[in-house]
């Protein structure tokens, strides 16, 4: 059985070996190493990671965090993915419903303490959902934001004790859109309605300028929900 040290060393070596490798090759490596212990996460903004994963491992588990605050378009994209793609979609919900959270913490916690709201509705549910797995694959890209500019293609997620795989980390926005066009992939309709990045509805606005994540938690210093910190 692999130890934490073994897996962290494996991740470090893979990060060096796979830097610059095609995304599909990175996904193949991850599935070869971890098999059913590999899970994919998707925010349902696009379906690139889902398309990559199903080519390597048809029926692979895909986690979607259903926060209770999503746009209807995001939920519609999730439902369409479950029908169209060859994956096992796992809808993960927080411990409390929105109404229960309001009763415990007061209404609209996202407006008063967005970090706590994200911790309750995203970070904690994902942590629990990832426990059965050895590795998780995410669509993080260096082009997403300055905070993600050094994202490795493979890393050791010490907080969750998992190998973290980012097959499209090196892709530019242009490469991402070219892949979507080439394979005629599904997109969240909000991307065609002025949203460059899509999160929970109360905390997301249309963004202008070069920072795709400027529309997330607009007016606040916050740029990450905490999942990738």
CA 81/CA 44 separation, integer angstroms: 8
Residue 104, classified by CB atoms within 10 Å of its CB into exposed (0-12), middle (13-18) or buried (19+), is exposed
CA 79/CA 110 separation, integer angstroms: 25
CB of 169 closer than 8 Å to CB of 151: yes
What ranges make up the beta strands (E) of 74-152?
87-92, 135-137
CA 77/CA 32 separation, integer angstroms: 29
Residue from 117, 118, 200, 225 carrying the catalytic annotation? 225
Catalytic residue check, 117: no
Residue 226, classified by CB atoms within 10 Å of its CB into exposed (0-12), middle (13-18) or buried (19+), is middle
CB of 149 closer than 8 Å to CB of 139: no
CA 61/CA 217 separation, integer angstroms: 29
Residue 6, classified by CB atoms within 10 Å of its CB into exposed (0-12), middle (13-18) or buried (19+), is exposed
Positions marked catalytic: 225
């Amino acid at each position: 059985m692999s130890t934490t040290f073994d897996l962290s060393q494996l991740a470090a070596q893979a990060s060096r070996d796979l830097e610059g490798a095609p995304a599909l090759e990175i996904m193949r490596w991850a599935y070869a190493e971890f098999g059913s212990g590999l899970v994919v996460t998707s925010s349902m903004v696009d379906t690139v990671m889902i398309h990559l994963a199903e080519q390597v491992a048809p029926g692979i588990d895909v986690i979607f965090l259903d926060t209770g605050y999503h746009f209807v378009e995001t939920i519609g994209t999730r439902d369409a993915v479950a029908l169209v793609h060859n994956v096992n979609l796992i809808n993960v919900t927080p411990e409390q419903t929105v109404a229960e959270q309001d009763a415990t913490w007061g209404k609209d916690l996202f407006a008063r303490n967005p970090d706590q709201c994200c911790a309750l509705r995203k970070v904690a549910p994902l942590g629990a959902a990832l426990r059965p797995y050895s590795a998780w694959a995410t669509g993080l890209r260096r082009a997403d934001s300055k905070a993600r500019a050094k994202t490795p293609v493979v890393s050791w997620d010490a907080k969750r004790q998992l190998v973290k795989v980012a097959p499209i980390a090196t892709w530019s926005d242009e490469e991402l859109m070219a892949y979507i066009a080439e394979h005629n992939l599904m997109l969240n309709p909000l991307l065609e309605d002025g949203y460059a990045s899509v999160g929970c509805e109360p905390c997301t606005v249309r963004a202008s300028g070069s920072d795709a994540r400027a529309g997330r938690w607009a007016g606040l210093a916050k740029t990450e929900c905490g999942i990738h910190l």
